[in-house]
């Protein structure tokens, strides 16, 4: 089959393209902006890419058009497809029907931690011989790729597939969350709070979508649920037909727990009994709970907790998750994907625990759709409280990346330790001037941030 993918350069659709190519399909695709690294990765797979959405692309005569959720009505190619009555389907539906069918799907849902937890779970299964397929919204460093079919045709172990289960909407013609198409047998519900203000009016609307996911898990399936999340408790109370195991539950309750140690290791508890100790290099209580959730999910497919715990000792995290990009003049530049206030606070807190009294210079670009709307701007100062200095960047004007609110005013409760910039070069100059040997510069954005990481390293290296 020849499929043509609209919006191919997004993380999810790019992963879909890789899976489709690996499954033997001819794959072509287009996007508004075709640029590295995604364009390089896709072309290396033999996938032809076209810049823009020219309606003449229908001359390719694919068997099916697969449509990403960046495409809306009015898109010239999409209008041509619809006018001619040509077959099209959403990316999540195509994945569900062509990749996930007849697989044991392990889905990881939640406002935060989906990518990291999915990567941990995939690595646990890989290290214990299950050779899973996966589709993850980042690049796990253990694998070096974000998606693969998995399995081994000789041994017949192609049953397992780990997928990052996103609650964002499916397509312009399907406003359900992506994850309703995946039909998991094992599902992690990691956490749940308000996000995606561009499509959800309130937390209750997101809870409804999560309950739709719960409804797709079979009776023989299992839900691994964060026991301290009231929103998830409300989701389960609306109806549940599967086994439920909770983690981070109330002290003394059944389910999964942990005990943290000062050296970063932690004991994993199941029904209040220790099943082993994880020793690794990751920081932050949030990552430890992510690991507990992954251990619990892996147990459902047959991986014993001691096996999973041993696997995590070699887990290498995910690109753009507390990833050290370099050290210059004694200053460490770290990259992280954090963009929601809760994730920002967790990331800064984890780094604070690691560096102790050493200074943290937080560099933030509020770039997500929710942040650009200003829905969570009042929570920013509190999320950055543990940083020593804060440098915010927000483009002004009417461009697609421009903020619709005053970043400087939002950061003003932090007083003199916070500054806002609308010129990237001036921000780099200010950070480099303020940084001292021993400092950590923590860059947080869900985008490329204008290549600020290398610019900071160059500016720091040039200091005399």
* CATH for 53: 3.40.50.720
Say what the pLDDT of residue 153 is: 40
Say what the pLDDT of residue 207 is: 95
User: Domain for residue 275, yes or no?
Assistant: yes
Quote the tokens at residue 217. Answer: 């898990």
Say what the pLDDT of residue 187 is: 98
Strands 331-336 and 440-444 turn out to be parallel
Say what the pLDDT of residue 394 is: 83
User: Domain for residue 317, yes or no?
Assistant: no
Say what the pLDDT of residue 397 is: 59
**Residues 261, 285 within the same domain:** yes
Say what the pLDDT of residue 156 is: 45
User: Domain for residue 363, yes or no?
Assistant: yes
CATH number at residue 254: 3.40.1190.10
Q: Domain total for the chain?
A: 3
**Residues 221, 86 within the same domain:** no
DSSP 95-128: HHHHTSTTSEEEEEE-SS-HHHHHHHHHHHHHHT
Task: Give the range of the structural domain holding residue 106, as residue numbers without chain letter.
Answer: 100-312
Distances (CA, A) of 354 to 269, 283, 297: 24, 7, 28
**Residues 302, 348 within the same domain:** no
Structural domain ending residue among the three candidates 312, 332, 365: 312
Per run of 10 residues, the mean pLDDT along the chain (length 464 residues) is 94 92 94 77 87 96 96 96 97 96 95 91 96 90 88 60 93 94 97 80 92 97 94 96 88 79 91 93 87 97 97 85 85 84 84 88 82 78 91 73 80 90 90 92 83 89 83
**Residues 107, 237 within the same domain:** yes
Structural domain ending residue among the three candidates 248, 280, 312: 312
Structural domain ending residue among the three candidates 27, 59, 91: 91
CATH number at residue 420: 3.90.190.20
Quote the tokens at residue 88. Answer: 């099209």
Measured in whole angstroms, the distance separating CA 384 from the mean position of its chain's CA atoms is 21
Record the pTM: 0.78
Measured in whole angstroms, the distance separating CA 394 from the mean position of its chain's CA atoms is 22
**Residues 159, 305 within the same domain:** yes
**Residues 230, 284 within the same domain:** yes
**Residues 205, 249 within the same domain:** yes
**Residues 56, 119 within the same domain:** no
Asked whether 450 and 335 are in contact (CB, 8 A), the reply is: no
**Residues 167, 265 within the same domain:** yes
Say what the pLDDT of residue 366 is: 83
C-alpha span between 453 and 428 (Å, rounded): 9
pLDDT digits (tens, 9 = 90+) for 121-167: 999 999 999 999 999 988 888 888 889 999 764 444 559 999 999 98
Say what the pLDDT of residue 13 is: 92
Say what the pLDDT of residue 256 is: 95
Say what the pLDDT of residue 349 is: 86
User: Domain for residue 318, yes or no?
Assistant: no
**Residues 334, 251 within the same domain:** no
**Residues 59, 120 within the same domain:** no
Number of helices (H), then strands (E), in the chain: 15, 23
């Amino acid at each position: 089959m020849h499929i043509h993918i609209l919006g191919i350069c997004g993380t999810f659709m790019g992963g879909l393209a890789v899976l489709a190519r690996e499954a033997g399909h001819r794959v072509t695709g287009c996007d508004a902006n075709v640029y590295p690294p995604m364009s390089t990765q896709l072309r290396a797979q033999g996938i032809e890419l076209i810049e823009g959405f020219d309606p003449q692309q229908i001359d390719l005569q694919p068997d099916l058009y697969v449509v990403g959720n960046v495409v809306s009505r009015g898109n010239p190619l999409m209008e041509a497809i619809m006018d001619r009555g040509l077959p099209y389907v959403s990316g999540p539906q195509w994945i569900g029907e062509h990749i996930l069918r007849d697989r044991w799907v392990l889905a990881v849902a939640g406002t935060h931690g989906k990518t990291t937890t999915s990567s941990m779970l995939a690595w646990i299964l890989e290290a214990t011989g299950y050779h899973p397929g996966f589709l993850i919204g980042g690049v796990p460093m253990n694998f070096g790729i974000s998606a693969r079919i998995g399995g081994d045709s000789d041994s017949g172990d192609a049953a397992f597939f780990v997928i990052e289960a996103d609650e964002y909407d499916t397509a312009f013609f399907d406003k359900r969350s992506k994850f309703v198409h995946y039909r998991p047998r094992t599902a992690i519900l990691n956490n749940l709070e308000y996000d995606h203000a561009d499509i959800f009016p309130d937390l209750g609307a997101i809870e409804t979508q999560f309950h739709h996911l719960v409804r797709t898990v079979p009776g023989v399936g299992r839900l691994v649920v964060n026991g301290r999340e009231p929103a998830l408790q409300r989701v389960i109370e609306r109806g549940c037909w599967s086994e439920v195991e909770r983690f981070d539950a109330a002290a003394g309750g059944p389910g999964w727990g942990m005990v943290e140690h000062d050296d970063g290791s932690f004991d994993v508890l199941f029904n209040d009994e220790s099943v082993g100790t994880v020793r690794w290099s990751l920081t932050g209580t949030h990552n430890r709970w992510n690991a507990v959730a992954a251990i619990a999910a892996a147990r459902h497919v047959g991986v014993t907790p001691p096996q999973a715990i041993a696997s995590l000792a070699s887990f290498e995290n995910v690109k753009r998750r507390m990833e050290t990009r370099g050290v210059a003049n004694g200053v460490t530049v770290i990259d992280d994907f954090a963009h929601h206030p809760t994730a920002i606070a967790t990331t800064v807190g984890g780094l604070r625990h690691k560096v102790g009294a050493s200074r943290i210079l937080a560099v933030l670009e509020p770039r997500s759709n929710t942040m650009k709307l200003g829905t969570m701007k009042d929570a920013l100062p509190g999320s950055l409280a543990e940083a020593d200095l804060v440098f915010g960047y927000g483009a002004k004007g009417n461009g697609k990346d421009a903020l619709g609110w005053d970043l400087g005013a939002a950061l003003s409760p932090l007083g003199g330790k916070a500054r806002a910039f609308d010129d990237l070069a001036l921000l780099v100059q200010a950070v480099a001037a303020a940084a001292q040997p021993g400092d950590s510069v923590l860059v947080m954005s869900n985008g490329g941030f204008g290549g600020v990481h290398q610019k900071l390293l160059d500016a720091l290296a040039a200091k005399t």
